[in-house]
A and B are shown apart, each in its own frame.
Chain A
Amino acid sequence: MNLFLSQEQEEIRELVHDLCLERVEPRAAEIDESAEFPWDIKELFAKNDILAIPFTPEYGGVSGSALTLIVAVEEISKFCATSSLILSVQSLGSLPIWLAGSEEQKRKYLPPLARGEQLASYALTEPGSGSDAGGMRTRAIKHGDTYVLNGSKTFITGGSVADTIVVFARTDQDGDTPARNISAFIVEKTMPGFKVGKLEKKLGIRGSPTAQLFFQDVALPAANRIGDEGEGFKIAMRVLDHSRPGIAAQALGIAEGAFDLARRYALERHQFGKPIAEFQGIQFILADMATQIEAARALTYAAGDALDRKLPDIGVSSPLNG
């Protein structure tokens, strides 16, 4: 058993950390205030190959390791969770292609995403279908070599800035069991009939656009279907197994960023003649925070390691459940 990150992962952590400290941290408050997508940060990540981390070298990437991606997302999130989502969603939106796409689809779509020239997104949720993803109503009806897509999606992270969006839609005939006949499609933002609706005003991650998407008679070539007809639900769930550790990494980074500030303040702030870090009231808070963070990190990295080792029960991470 080896519980330590590789030299390469440590180096990537340091690189991302230093870059974010210098360039992201000074922008974070502004991004939050303005609630605007930080194109400058996206460019920064593209230029420094951070957006290439989710991809293997054969598709223009630099890693493809789930654990390395976790480490990068964790570091960015220490400074700005909105910015971390640029990377997470690049991964999420490309995972369906990466996991289930044809070689042709991978060659066409992944390299521009790895270079950060394009952005990806993932559209599953609908107004009436959230946790119950199988109950979606967006529908793609096949006419010859083309599917005609109609419906809407909601809560789509990065939906308004993405070039390539993987959209899940029903391809069933009336009367089929819903989840059984869902398919995944690659939609390009330039396709006629695709429209971005309103952006949500949110409590947090405000610079990360959360969009409504509308599809009105969007004509999709059959070549844009990922996998077989009816495989969409399985693909969607498999993608979520792969992407959840990234969300865990985001939470982990947010917690660590908060903790670092709290710890520093507790050492600096004097009351009753000494730093407040010397009072047990504050010490207990710090200890509990640090312990929770350590536990969260252990679970998150274990999930990343399980993905990298391609363990079978990824959904609950690692076989070490006794």
Chain B
Amino acid sequence: MDLSLSPEQEDIRKLVRDFAQREVKPRAEAIDHRDEFPRDLVDKAAELGLMGMLVPEAYGGAGLDHIAFAIFIEEVARFAASTAGILDVHGSVGTEPILHFGSEEQKRRWLPALASGKTLAAFALTEPEAGSDAAHLKTTAVRRNGGYTLNGTKIFITNAGQAGLYTLMAATRPGAGADGITAFLIAGDNPGLNVGPRFKKMGLNGSAIAEVHLEDCLVDERDRLGEEGQGFRIAMQALDSGRIGISAQAVGLAQGALDDAIAYARERQQFGKPIGEFQSIQNKIADMAVKTRAARWLTWKAAALCDAGQPFTREAAMAKLFATDAAMEITLEALQVFGGYGYLEEYPMARRVRDAKAGQIYEGTNQVQRLVIARDLAPAR
């Protein structure tokens, strides 16, 4: 065991920390208050080569590992979780299915565009009536000459309307459950794909989350990802590694909240000394730091297993569960350290609380994570 970062990972950390400090931090408040999609930050990340971190160099990417990716997402999320979410969905669930299941032709067509940031990616699994129970989705894909006709509605799709590519799951054998699901790569400009209005949300403002409607959407045979019936597996595998990014986003939220709480506790004077010298504040900060650290290690453990080609479903679910629950708790505690000021929108504390809540819900609610963990630990016979 040696938990030091490699020189390459250290370099990435420096690069993304600098990007986050210099570019993301000053924009965070405006993105939140105006609910404005941060296209400028996506473009800047693209200039730095950060949009194709996991994509091999042969396809125009940086060819980095999941720990580097987790570091990237964490550093951005320290200042703006919604921007981190956009970058995460693009780089993880939006890109990885093609990496793992795409044909050579599909890789050549999409990966360079995704890696350069020219095309933003989205992942479309959830439906109004198929959330945790994703195997019972209702969107259909009916074979026609040389391809498929898709009909149905997807909901809660991150990067909807901004994305140039949707990796979308539909039933080629309706009623067959998980075995009847197939994955498709659908271009954002497909006339049969229409995006609904962006949802107004509790948090993650700036992140475009909306419905995606498929109305007689024609998709070529060559845009089917993997085999017919393989879609559910593709989606589950994407979500496994997607959870690394969600965990990293939560770690960033927690670390950002902790950093601000520590700085404030040193500065804020009451009863003649900084409040950081009172044990009630010290205890909060210690507890927050322990949980943040544990969350980061769980995230990196899942990432390391993933990179080593070992099973990591359970570890990724644990990281997601622990980190997002910790982020919720820590962002609330950090707000409390700020007292009345924490409640004001002038400070980032309230925004972090609003943003953290999403982590407990998306990419599998934390209740689903517990089921994933339990089934892995004690499988039904």
Contacts and interface: CB of A to CB of B under 8 A. Distances in A.
Interface stretch (B1-9, B112-120, B149-157): B1-9
Interface string B27-69: 0000000000000000000000000000000000000000100
Contact of B298 (A266, A294, A321): A294
Q: Most chain-A CB neighbours within 10 Å: which of B2, B67, B255, B372?
A: B2
B263 interface: no
B321 interface: yes
A284 B374 contact: yes
Interface in A155-170: none
Given A263-B378, A277-B374, A287-B369, A294 B315 contact: yes
A320 B296 contact: yes
A90 B286 CA distance: 29
Interface string B370-381: 111111011011
Interface string B278-295: 000000000001101111
Given A283-B370, A287-B373, A295 B1 contact: no
A161 B255 CA distance: 46
Contact of B3 (A274, A277, A302): A302
A273 to B, nearest CB: 13
A278 B297 contact: no
Q: Most chain-B CB neighbours within 10 Å: which of A266, A287, A306, A318?
A: A287
B148 interface: no
B4 A286 contact: no
A291 interface: yes
Contacts, number: 117
A284 to B, nearest CB: 5
A191 interface: no
Nearest to A262: B378
Nearest to B75: A322
Interface residues on A, range: 35 or more
B304 interface: yes
A295 B6 contact: no
A6 interface: yes
Interface residues on B, range: 35 or more
B322 interface: yes
Contact of A316 (B289, B301, B375, B381): B289
Contact of A295 (B5, B289, B297, B314): B297
B318 interface: yes
Given A298-B294, A299-B290, A287 B374 contact: yes
Contact of A298 (B258, B297, B308, B370): B297
A45 to B, nearest CB: 24
B300 interface: yes
B374 A275 contact: no
A259 to B, nearest CB: 9
A290 interface: yes
28 contacts: A2-B3, A2-B304, A3-B300, A3-B301, A4-B304, A4-B308, A67-B1, A266-B378, A278-B380, A283-B374, A284-B367, A284-B370, A287-B369, A290-B314, A294-B298, A294-B315, A294-B322, A295-B297, A298-B297, A299-B293, A305-B3, A309-B2, A318-B293, A320-B5, A320-B296, A321-B289, A322-B78, A322-B255
Given A287-B374, A291-B322, A291-B373, 12 more contacts: A1-B5, A2-B2, A2-B3, A3-B3, A3-B304, A286-B373, A291-B318, A291-B321, A294-B315, A295-B297, A295-B322, A320-B293
Interface of B: 1-6, 9, 67, 78, 255, 258-259, 289-290, 292-298, 300-301, 304-305, 308, 314-315, 318, 321-322, 367, 369-375, 377-378, 380-381
Interface of A: 1-6, 9, 67, 263, 266-267, 274-275, 277-278, 280, 282-284, 286-288, 290-292, 294-296, 298-299, 301-302, 304-306, 309, 316-318, 320-322
